[in-house]
Amino acid sequence: MILEELIAGLETERVIGETSVKVNGIEIDSKKIAKNRMFICLKGGNFDSHDAAKEAERYGASVIVCERRLNVGITQVIVKDTRLAMSYLAAAFYSFPSEHMKIVGVTGTNGKTTTARIIKEILERSGKKVGLIGTLGVFFGSTFYEPTLTTPDPLDLHKILHEMYHYGIDYVVMEVSAHAIDLKKLAFVRFEIGVLTNLTQDHLDYFGTMEKYRAAKKAFLTSPQCKTVVVNSDDELGREILLENDKVVSYGIDNPADVFAIDVKEELDGTSFILNLFDGIYDVKMKLLGLFNVYNALAAEVACALLGVRVKDAVRALKEVSVVPGRLECVSEKNGIFVFIDYAHTPDGLENSLNTLKKLTKKRLICVFGCGGNRDTGKRAQMGEIAGKIADFTVLTSDNPRYEEPMEIIREIEVGLLSRTREYVVVQNRKDAIGYALGYAKTGDVVLVAGKGCEKYQEILGIKHPYNDKDCIEYIERETNL
């Protein structure tokens, strides 16, 4: 592609040099530069890749995109914001693929992965060709890419969308993270529908305050790039958006909504409820557990109906939707002991999962969990208090400590736990903690291993060590004949 064509719609402050040069690719890592690649200089908290422009030139870059004039001998495109420019350039390089498909963006603190997965399954069962981008990876046809980020960076995202379009995908469901919104990753993606699941505390290590976190979510949902918005009327942010906008469709249980559920019944083999979908009444029995999954299902039903799926087909498909891996997934049922794994890593997520299982537990509910390192520290004591309030016994352990000392994280959780109970034990090693919980459990008990879901690693000091909760549970049961 010729630079002049690539930057035709880009807001620039100045272009220095020839615009007839070739651009064969775009990079943000100077070490990946090859001949005729464009290098985009980004700034972050601890880096400024404007300093790597000379290196990119040596490696063969034909163009530098930057926020200030640099001492290089190749073409420079100077812009106000290189992150915003990157989003445009990635979209333009791949011919704006989002304009050729109907894209659903699911955002919220909890429930993104499950809601997105339900939407995908309903659409597929209705005969649509669907792609999925999210925490569990990228899926379309027989193609699967391992997950990197909940929402990929623009260069990867538009490449993926381009591949999906040329594969014949008509609908794309993607999880939209608050980080991606704030970093302008999605600025040039057109969404047919934006979905809000809920907003509760998370990511304050990045945003600093709930107000800033909330503003990021709201900015996406109320932007012109979302044609229609689906919100939870039982969520404060959802109600705010509902009152302020006329392109909104609502779902809920407690507050008035366009689509709602009543008579919810929870059991260990699934959840049933009566669904009012745009004044049509339907009996639903789904395999997913918990009231929070009723909300996820409602959001998915609304989105699919708005996409043109026949209501009866959407309801029928919901009954067949499979449990999402690592999302309140029952991984063992032996000797009358049920063992679940769940991704719950926020106060609200942990409380929802524990409350769901508490209702279904005949005897004791045992919870194994920890908190991630170098993340929002304010939620640690909160999660400890929640576990102490709901679980009958808790095993505190390590999650992804990253660059923090695991026992320091555990001690911070312990403060909240001690405000509610003394019924707990600390076992730092996660495998040993799960082994302790399984050995402690008796017939009629339920064990919840929370925090990691189906993650395939444990991150310690920058290294992702192979690890999976489900594999760990299966190994312990096999080796100890539990």
Average pLDDT over the chain, rounded to an integer:
96
Residue 44 predicted with pLDDT over 90: no
279 Cβ contact list (under 8 Å, min separation 6) = none
Q: Which of 285, 252, 248, 250 is nearest to 270 (CA)?
A: 285
d(Cα 430, Cα 278) in Å, to the nearest integer? 46
Q: What CA–CA distances, in Å, run from 243 to 119, 219, 231, 238? A: 25, 15, 11, 9
* Lowest-pLDDT range of 18-22, 148-152, 412-416: 148-152
Q: Give the pLDDT mean for 232-239.
A: 97
d(Cα 168, Cα 330) in Å, to the nearest integer? 35
Domains of the chain: 3-81 (3.40.1390.10), 97-320 (3.40.1190.10), 329-480 (3.90.190.20)
CB atoms within 10 A of CB 35: 11
Q: Give residue 102's pLDDT.
A: 98
Order of strands, sheet of 25-27, starting from the edge strand that comes earlier in the sequence: 14-16, 75-78, 63-66, 37-40, 25-27
Q: Which of 95, 54, 86 is nearest to 67 (CA)?
A: 86
pLDDT per position as a tens digit, 306-353: 999 999 999 999 999 999 999 999 999 999 999 999 999 999 999 999
Pairing of β 63-66 and β 37-40: parallel
195 phi/psi in degrees, rounded to 5: -120, 130
pLDDT per position as a tens digit, 59-112: 999 999 999 999 999 999 999 999 999 999 999 999 999 999 999 999 999 999
d(Cα 63, Cα 6) in Å, to the nearest integer? 11
Q: Give residue 246's pLDDT.
A: 87
SS3 state at 467: coil
Q: Which two tokens stand for residue 384?
A: 């400890």
Residue 482 predicted with pLDDT over 80: no
- Residue 317, Cβ density class (10 Å: 0-12 exposed, 13-18 middle, ≥19 buried): buried
d(Cα 178, Cα 381) in Å, to the nearest integer? 23
Q: Give residue 45's pLDDT.
A: 81
Pairing of β 280-286 and β 75-78: unpaired
Q: What is the sign, positive or negative, of the torsion defined by CA atoms of 16, 17, 22, 25? A: negative
- Confidence band of 196 (pLDDT split at 50, 70, 90): very high
Q: Give residue 161's pLDDT.
A: 98
For 88-101, give one letter per residue: b (16+ CB within 10 A) or e. Answer: bbbbbbbebbbebb
R_g of the chain computed on alpha carbons: 24
Stretch (H or E) spanning 423: none
Residue 471 predicted with pLDDT over 80: yes
What's this model's pTM, rounded to 2 decimal places? 0.92
